[in-house]
Structure 1
Amino acid sequence: MLWKTGLIFLCWGLTSGELQERQSGAPPGPARTTLNFGFVPAGVYETVAYYEPGAIGILFNMMHAFLFVVQPNPFPEDLVIKVAKDKFEAIQSEYQKPENIVLTLQVIYYDIGFVVCAALGLLFTVLLPLVGLFFCLCRCCDNCGGEMHQRQRKNADCLRGLLTTLLLTTTFIITAGVLCAYAANQNLSSQLKSMRRLVKNNLKDLHTFANQTPSQIDYLISQYGTVKNHVIYDLENVGLLLGGRIQEELGKDVQPALDTALSMYATMRETKDALENVSLTLETLQDGTGKLQANLSAVRGSLGNALNDPVCADIRSPAATVCRNIRSTLPRLDIAANYSSLPNVTDQLDKVNEVLKTDLRRIVEKGFTSFNDTPTMVMEQTRNVVEGVRGLLNDIGSNITNFTKLFPVNSTLTNFTKMITHTHSQIEDIYPQIDQMDFYRWICCITLCCMVVLILAFNFLGLLCGILGFDRHTSPTTRGCVSNTGGNLLMAGVGFSFMFSWVLMGVITALFLAGGNLEKLVCEPFQTRQLFKVLDTPYLIQSSMKNFIPGYLFNDPNMDLTVDSLYSNCKDNRGIYKALNLEKIFNISAFFNTSIYSKDVSRKFEEMKVDLRGIVLLETEGKQNLINFTETDINKIKFAAYLEELKKGVTSIDLLSFAGELDTQADQLVKGTLQTALKGHANTVRQIYNQQVIPLEKSMKYVKARSTLNQSIRFLERTASDLPVRVTEVLAAVDAAQFLISRNATLVVNQETEKYKQTIIGYFKQYMDWIRTSLSMEVATCKPFSNIVDTVEILGCSFLLDSMNTFWFGLGCSTLFLLPSIILSVKLAKFYRRMDTEDVYDDIETIPMKTREIGNNGYYNEQLEGVQHPVMTSLSYSGCHLTGVTEVRMVSSNGTQSLYIIPTYDTMTRFPRASAPPRHPDW
């Protein structure tokens, strides 16, 4: 229970920084500024829980493929759970129960491949010694190939070659199996040496975990300074932040109102300029047209005097008609636009100048200045609140510091480090024992391999001696020592095969059952996470515990903490706080409730009172100035008369046309004084046109004056038309804005104050969220614990189990092929060993015996001799050497036998070792 208590204190210490901060929770509201808390200092874990077998992985894959063929069924998750729940003891004691019998049958059905292979292995182990015993007894009785007599066949060479090839192939397969087993054995020993590095790295990572955790917690606590600095910055700039927001919100109404008031000042200035332009241009136009009018009036009066001539008095004379026509055109000899008749605008101009004596722009700018002082007013009026919040920050920091001291994090981690050191020391102490056990294991495995290697040595040496020493020209009874030794070595291999193969198969069967089932029931399910699902089955370990991990650690079996989730979180290098789901154990929500701090901050801001009634947007003088502007009588100007005169030309009649008509009329008169006077006046009119009208029309001053007058009149007309309405709207907008500031600004102030307060509280919320995320993802990351599990899997499955399974896989392949090796060796040894007797055949039926010489086929051929034996007629014989004599067994074609004894010295000359093959139907 001590380790449980230590782990709980460790988890409590890891969460201490988070517990205190959640007390400062705030209502949801986005912070205006995203805080940067930096990165939590993280230790570097050195363990790489990954194994790459390298070239031997090919053998591992072959072994896995074989196991898949033996056991292709998927992992029996339901069956394993059922077996685990029913308990093996109950199954053994109550095996006769029907449900237990069914369960047993299900297990057998799932493991049918292993059962069949194990049965075959046991059958091999039991029968092979018996077969070897009977085989030895059989050979002792000159049976089963034990008779040292070789019957010759025509296909003997082909058969010997086939047997040699098959035995050689079988031997190579056995050799490959032994090499596979040897490689697996060596791989296990070499990988056990790297086990120390893995274990050392795991323990070192645990030290790193324990050492870095306090610094990580200290870093979390220290980042409260970031929150404090941002809050202090916002408090020091409360005028800019809060007052600016209030000003911005109120400015939506105040700014347009003051802008329209300022635009009225611009209208006043433009009106004054327009009136001045009208006054000046009117004088200019009156001056220009006045001289022309005087000259035209003089010409018109002179013409009128000339037409008083007596010639015009005679009504009956043609001259009277001419005079009458000329007199009718005299009124048209005048200017068209009479600017002198237009009224001046001096009175309106004087009134406007009077209005402009009051500087409306200065008054409006003063209102702008007063409104722009809102941040300063807010800062001055909230000074006490700012100081109160600043003091609250210091209290919160002190609470955080004091809170972390309540939990023995350092002492707990110190004890944890001591435990790791002690564990490491214990592991170091058992390394010599592991090495010794591995040495014994290595010796045992090498011994098993050497059994097969001994058999292989006899096979290879036997084949080598047999192939090199075999002479096809030598009879079986006279084979050389090398060939005979090869056959004996092959038979020695057969003997050792019978001696060792059953031992090998017994060991292989045991290793196969253990290693194969562990691979299929432990290693493969671990890689697919199915094993975790089995372990996470509710009420599996104990019927009273739904989940055994929280049941053992926290005495809360109903807690949602499973092996799979714990391993997955640690595998993803998440914090132990997240992995162990400690929030439900320590009621983190209560400790991380930000409402405590938010209430304190809110209480401080409730004391904030912002009064903006001191802001005056437009003084009374400015308002009166606007009213006076509407009373300048601009609307009384006769805009239509001005516009009408501006439409007219310089003169009412074309002076050139008038002068031409005057000349024409004069030509109708009799030469005299009147005619001369008329022509003179026509020239005068032309002179006036050329000297006054044309320069006046082309004068820029005249044109500009007309244009300026036109523009000014039209501007004044527009201004006068909506001036009262505009002024009324400006005054209404200013009054509404002023009313908003003086009476209704409280709502805006409260809204913006709440936003500002939420910004301050939002910093705390960001801090809490960052701590939660850091605790889940970065603080006390439990990768070392998943690495320990992965290391156990690597050591148990990749190092030990894969190597052991590959060992029995290779050795089993060699052992199985010892069976064909035995058969082939027995058959092939007959062709290499020296025989005691041999078959001899005669192809001449009428001659009983004759002298023979060695033929091309390696046997003695009787056809080379011309002497026939008086005894042998269509007979065959077989002979064997005895001491001093030769036993000759004569066999007739019908099967009868006769025994003859002849001297030994006569054997080689009178009785050859072999004859040509008999003429049998099957040849």
Structure 2
Amino acid sequence: MTMALVFGVLLLLGLCGNIASGGQPVSTSTPGALDYELPTSEYETPDTFNAGTVGPLYRMVHIFLQVVQPNDFPQDMMGKIIQRNFDFSVDSKEPENIVLALKIAYYEIGILICTILGLLFIILMPLVGYFFCMCRCCNKCGGEMHQRQKENESCRRKSFALSLLVICLLMSLGIMYGFVANHQVRTTIKRTENLTESNFRDLQTFLNETPKQIDYILAQYTNTKNKAFSDLDGVDSLLGGRIKDQVKPKVIPVLDEIKAMVTAIRQTRDALKSMNDSLTSIREGSEQLSTNLTDVKKSIEDSLNNNNNNECASEPAKDICDNIRSELSNLGSNLNIIQLPFVDEQLTKVNDICETDLESLIDKGYVLIDEIPGKVGEQTVDVIADVKKALDSVSSTVQNVSQSIPIEEVLSRVSRYINDSNSYFHQELPKLEEYDSYWWLGGLIVCFLLTLIVTFFFLGLLCGVCGYDRHATPTRRGCVSNTGGIFLMAGVGFSFLFCWILMILVVLTFFVGAHVEKLICEPYANKQLLQLLDTPYMLRKDWQFYLSGLMLNNPNINLTFQQVYSDCKKGRGVYATFQLEHVFNVSENFNIEKNTRKIIKELDNLNVDIDNIELFNKTGRDNLENFVTSGIDEIDYPLYLKEAEKSPTIVDLLVFASSLEEKTDKLPDGNLKQDLKKDVQRIKTIHQEQVRPLQQSLDTLKQSIRTLERMSEKLPERMNKTIMSLDSAQNFLSSNISSIVIEETKKFAKTIVGYFEHYLQWVLYAITEKMTSCKPVVTAMDSAVSGVLCSYAADPLNLFWFGIGQATVLLLPAVIIAVKLAKYYRRMDSEDIYDDVETVPMKNLENGSNGYHKDHLYGVHNPVMTSPSRY
């Protein structure tokens, strides 16, 4: 842990050098397309360690330890012990020492009780075994090969067998735990090697990542500078475009309005000209039409009144002629065009206005607005060049700072240390494997010893149950049953012989494993161990905070192990984690104001002059005002429309011709009919050649009148509004263009400076918060404590003593039951009553039937007992 912290500090010293503190969080708003993200690597070492399928077994042992030792981690007590430097040689009669001893005893009460019980087991079991063997040699303690007949013998035998079977099964479960734990111990070295290699690779990746992060930081300055250069090269479109965008909403609508008015003037001129042309055409056509209709009318009347023709004298021709004669009054012109005056005066005034090229004046206004970006580009060439030089100077500063950082030397030293540590680990690995093999072999022997004892018990049960004959007398039991009894006694003998050795191993491993779990693993997992180390004046009496005194040479700074662990776990940078702002000034070489002051100074020289923009000159303005006095609003448009909407003739000539032709067809053949036929044809010709063109002229006149009427509607108001808008826009340009230019120039300069402010803020944030994250160091510490010590060593060790201890403790009831059960399976040398014909039932023996009493030891054919065989 200490070396890891030293490594982090050395690395940060190389990175920061003379840099000052003051890291600022990077701005949430990223200017332009600039977005920075330090390159990070994926680390392969896991943050947590999963025990896999044996996890439930480990949890079971943890629960047992929690029952045995339910007390919380004793921070106060451990603090006092640490402050004494684990020296207990002080006079124990002092009250403080007595209190501390009592606290230790109270905390250790569960472990001490279990340890004492184990020691009693270690001491008493060999003694009991010794005296048991001595007693049996003296035909005591069941040593005589004689089985007393007792009540409920069958039930007792079955109870003993079933109890021993259950105990053996429980012992087998404990032995299985021992085998599993021993296998986990066997794989500890390999898993430790893999975990260590993984941590070494992560640390090496961490070292390789740091130069990449520095290169990335430097490369991002190049990207930032290129972005600024791109904006500076596009100053015409950016700055000029923004100025143009500010002007356009005020100016372009006015120019569009004036353009619409100029278009209206041109349309008015065209309409007046068309109106005059239409009036001329209508007058000429109307006179010609009136003359021709008069001639046709006179021709028809002459034909009807001709005395040489007597066709109209008789009926029904007379009525037809009279009818035709009565309708001739409708045959004539319907127009009174003489009363409509020409509009020559208005046309002359509008033509005078149109002689000025108003469209070109408007286009010039548009061009002046569109030329703003170009003017900005032309006027800022020299300033942009100076700004680029200032940016290059900042680039030189950044490069010089990067070259002044002795990162390669520091990384080389740290990398050498890691490589040496890795080499040392691999050098010592064979020794660890050798010691692990010894432990594994010893654990295997222990498990096999217990397995041998349990096997004897199982074989004894198997042979005893299978070979037992309830009709056989104790002296005539079969070989299989007798072998079962021998197996049981062999198991008892091996139990007495090895149980105390097994219990010694259990007590030792229990005492070590329980304390590692309760004093290291659990408090490390819940951070109580770190809280203990963070206790003020704990590790050194003159230091309030040990870590800050060690790392920062200032023990009064609140720098704690728990805070460092938490920050490193989150991937925070070493600078912020160890609060190195109290030692180093990270912003001295990356000072924002210092590095941007020169840029701001050069950008202050941006001076854009786009005054004297004239949207519409005085000539154009005068013409607009003259259009109002052109007189088009004084024309009597209703009068013109009234005449234009009339029909050229009183009656529709085609209808009249059709009616005349129909009546003519009813007349008898003759000269009158022929003459009227000719007149009908003349009427149709007049309609085709004169009335229709005249109607078209009337329609054109009507369209021109309506156009002029629309143009002249509220003309003064509209023109005044247009002129006022023009004056307002021109005043806006004259009054505000300078302020707009200044404002947009400041915004442009702020954007350029903002790139570098954002970059420098990010650099500070990256160095203080993100760069050189100490997470691999904390992961290595977790791997050493949570992984190797707790998961790979302590958990298998605890499972081992739990399983072996369970099996060893169960040997005590197993021995007692096996000794009692062996009497029911072994072949006895003598028995209470024997009959060579049949065995007397137990109930008869007890009641004294057939003349025998239960106190009689031998029957008629019972041989004299010799010294019975002994265990």
Report 1:709-748 matches (<5 A).
Answer: 709-748=701-740
Does 2:499 match 1:501? Answer: yes
Native 8 Å contact 2:482 2:826 kept in 1: yes
Q: How much has 1:196 moved relative to structure 2?
A: 1.8
CA contact (8 A) 1:475 1:858 kept: no
Structure 2 counterpart of 1:919? none
Structure 2: distance between partners of 1:463 and 1:873:
34
Q: 1:290 to 1:108 in 2, by over 3 A?
A: farther
Alignment-derived partner of residue 429 in structure 2: 431
- How has the CA–CA distance of structure 1 residues 360 and 910 changed in structure 2, closer, same or farther, with 3 Å as cutoff? closer
| Selected match of 2:277 from 277, 280, 285 | 280
Q: 3-state SS of the aligned residue for 1:744?
A: helix
**Contact map agreement 1:639 1:713 (CA 8 A) in 2:** yes
Q: Considering only CA atoms, is the larger Rg found in Structure 1 or Structure 2?
A: 1
Aligned position for 1:146? 143
Equivalent position amino acid for 2:345 in 1? D
Partner residue in 2 for 1:803: 796
Q: Is the 8 A contact 2:19 2:584 kept in 1?
A: no
How far does the alpha carbon of each residue in 1:782-802 deviate from its partner, in whole angstroms, 9 at most, with x for none? 332122122111111111011
Contact 1:16 1:404 in 2 (8 A): no
Mean Cα displacement is larger for which, 98-107 or 742-751?
Answer: 98-107
- Cα deviation, 1:788-818, whole Å, max 9, x if unaligned, reads 1221111111110110000011011101211
Aligned-partner Cα distance in 2 for 1:118–1:246: 89
Give the deviation of 1:41 after TM superposition: 4.6
User: Is the CA contact 1:21–1:594 (under 8 Å) kept in the aligned structure 2?
Assistant: no
- Report if the CA contact (8 A) 2:23-2:764 is conserved: no
Paired residues of 1:583 and 1:589 also in contact (CA < 8 A): no
CA distance in 2, matches of 1:656, 1:400: 99
Query: What is the TM-score of this pair, normalised by structure 1?
Result: 0.78
- Structure 2 residue aligned with 1:848: none
The amino acid across from 1:554 in the alignment is L
Equivalent position SS for 2:640: helix
Q: Return closer, same or farther for 1:478/1:814 CA change in 2, 3 Å cut-off.
A: same
Report the alpha carbon displacement of residue 515 of structure 1 after superposing the two structures with TM: 1.8
Aligned residue for 1:144, secondary structure, equals coil
Deviation at 1:752, TM superposition (A): 0.6
Tell me the residue number matched to 1:63.
Answer: 61
**Cα distance in 2, alignment partners of residues 596 and 8 from structure 1:** 28
Give the Å deviation of 1:398.
0.8
Q: How many residues align?
A: 834
CA distance in 1, matches of 2:152, 2:103: 55
Cα gap change, 1:297/1:540 in structure 2, threshold over 3 Å: closer, same or farther?
A: farther
What SS is found at the alignment partner of 1:355? helix
Inter-partner Cα distance in structure 1 for 2:733 and 2:576: 52
Supply the distance in 1 between the matched residues of 2:651 and 2:478 (Cα, whole angstroms).
162
Report the Cα offset of residue 49 of structure 1.
5.2
Amino acid in structure 2 at the alignment position of 1:639: Y
SS in 2 for 1:610: coil
Q: Secondary structure at the match of 1:208?
A: helix
Q: Distance in 2 between matches of 1:772 and 1:54?
A: 43
Q: Residue type matched to 1:76 in 2?
A: D
What is residue 814 of structure 2 aligned with on the other side? Answer: 821
**Corresponding residue SS for 2:404:** coil
Contact 2:83/2:538, CA 8 A, preserved across alignment: no
Deviation at 1:694, TM superposition (A): 9.2
Q: Is the counterpart of residue 197 in structure 1 residue 198 in structure 2?
A: no
1:16 to 1:397, Cα distance in 2 relative to 1, 3 A: farther
Query: What amino acid sits opposite 2:32 in the alignment?
Result: T
Shift of 1:11: 0.8
The reply to whether residue 833 of structure 1 matches residue 830 of structure 2 is no
| Aligned twin of 1:363 | 361
Find the aligned partners of 2:639 and 2:92 in 1 and give their Cα distance: 129
What are the ranges of 5 or more consecutive residues in structure 1 without an aligned counterpart?
Answer: 306-327, 660-678, 842-851, 863-871, 877-891, 900-906, 915-923
**Could you tell me how far apart the structure 1 residues matched to 2:383 and 2:373 are?**
15
Structure 1 residues 136, 48: CA separation in 2 closer, same or farther (over 3 Å shift)? Answer: same
Q: Which moved more, 1:752-761 or 1:366-375?
A: 366-375
Counterparts in 2 of 1:819 and 1:561: CA distance versus 1, 3 Å:
same
Summarize the Cα distance change of 1:552–1:657 in structure 2 as closer, same or farther, 3 Å threshold.
Answer: closer
Supply the AA of the counterpart residue of 1:84. G
When residues 86 and 747 of structure 1 are mapped into structure 2, their CA distance, relative to the original with a 3 A threshold, is farther
Q: Which amino acid aligns with 2:180?
A: A
Instruction: State the shift of 1:105 in Å.
Output: 6.7
**Alpha-carbon spacing, 1:9–1:144, altered in 2? closer, same or farther (3 Å):** closer
Deviation at 1:472, TM superposition (A): 5.3
Q: Is the 8 A contact 2:300 2:679 kept in 1?
A: no
Structure 2: distance between partners of 1:516 and 1:52: 20
Q: Which amino acid aligns with 2:516?
A: L
| Residues 256 and 731 of structure 1, relative CA distance in 2, 3 Å threshold | same
402, 405, 421: which is aligned to 1:404?
402
Relative to structure 1, the CA distance from residue 692 to residue 70 in structure 2 (aligned partners, 3 Å threshold; closer, same or farther) is farther
C-alpha distance in structure 2 between counterparts of 1:898 and 1:765, whole Å? 113
Letter in 2 for 1:756: F
CA contact (8 A) 1:655 1:686 kept: no
Mean alpha-carbon deviation: is it higher for 242-251 or for 124-133? 124-133
After superposition, the C-alpha distances for 1:497-529 in whole angstroms (9 at most, x for unaligned) are 234334433432343243234324432343344
CA distance in 2 between counterparts of 1:85 and 1:593 reads 48
Matched residue, 1:181 = 178
1:653 Cα deviation after fit = 7.9
Match of 1:750 among 734, 742, 753: 742
Cα deviation code 1:166-225 (max 9, x no counterpart): 323322332332232122123112222231222123223222322332232122112211
Residue of structure 2 in register with 1:80 after alignment: 75
Measured after TM superposition, the shift of residue 555 of structure 1 is 2.5
SS of the equivalent of 1:405 reads helix
Residue 766 of structure 1 corresponds to 758
What do residues 403-434 of structure 1 show as CA deviations (whole Å, max 9, x unaligned)? 12223221111111122222223323332332
Matched, 1:212 2:205: no
1:289 & 1:817 partners in 2: Cα distance?
Answer: 141
Q: Are the counterparts in 1 of residues 31 and 758 from structure 2 also a CA contact under 8 Å?
A: no
Match of 1:867 in 2: none
Maintained 8 Å contact 1:838/1:913: no
Note if contact 2:575-2:581 (Cα within 8 Å) is conserved in structure 1: yes
Displacement of 1:607 after TM fit?
Answer: 1.2
| Farther off after superposition, 818-827 or 57-66 | 57-66
Letter in 2 for 1:204: R
CA distance in 2, matches of 1:267, 1:296: 41
Q: Relative to structure 1, is the Cα distance of residues 86 and 821 closer, same or farther in structure 2, using a 3 angstrom cutoff? A: closer
Q: Distance in 2 between matches of 1:436 and 1:230?
A: 63
Structure 2 partner of 1:854: 837
Structure 1 residue 440: Cα displacement: 3.7
AA of the residue aligned to 2:396: S
The separation in 2 between residues aligned to 1:692 and 1:115, in whole angstroms, is 141
2:395 and 2:451 map into 1 onto residues whose CA distance is: 78
Aligned 8 A contact 1:20 1:591 in 2: no
Alignment of 1:457-496 (within 5 A): 457-463=455-461, 466=464, 475-477=473-475, 479=477, 484=482, 486-496=484-494
Task: Give runs of aligned pairs for residues 103-142 of structure 1, distance below 5 A.
Answer: 113-142=110-139
Choose 649-658 or 418-427, whichever is displaced more. Answer: 649-658
Return the letter of the residue paired with 1:8.
V
Report the CA distance between 1:911 and its aligned residue.
Answer: 4.1
Range that drifts further, 114-123 or 91-100: 91-100
Deviates more, 1:760-769 or 1:773-782: 773-782
What root-mean-square deviation, in Å, do the aligned CA atoms of Structure 1 and Structure 2 show?
A: 4.7
Q: Which residue is 2:664 aligned to?
A: none
Q: CA deviation at 1:120?
A: 3.8
Contact 1:148–1:837, Cα closer than 8 Å, also in 2? yes
> Structure 1 504/247 Cα, relative in aligned 2: closer, same or farther at 3 Å?
same
The amino acid across from 1:358 in the alignment is: T
Distance 2:695 2:113 in 1: 124
1:171 — aligned with what?
Answer: 168
1:889-904 map, 5 Å? none
- 1:258 aligned residue: 255
Q: Which amino acid aligns with 1:623?
A: R
For CA contacts below 8 A with separation 6 or more, give which structure has more relative contact order: 2
Which amino acid letter does the alignment assign opposite residue 339 of structure 2? S
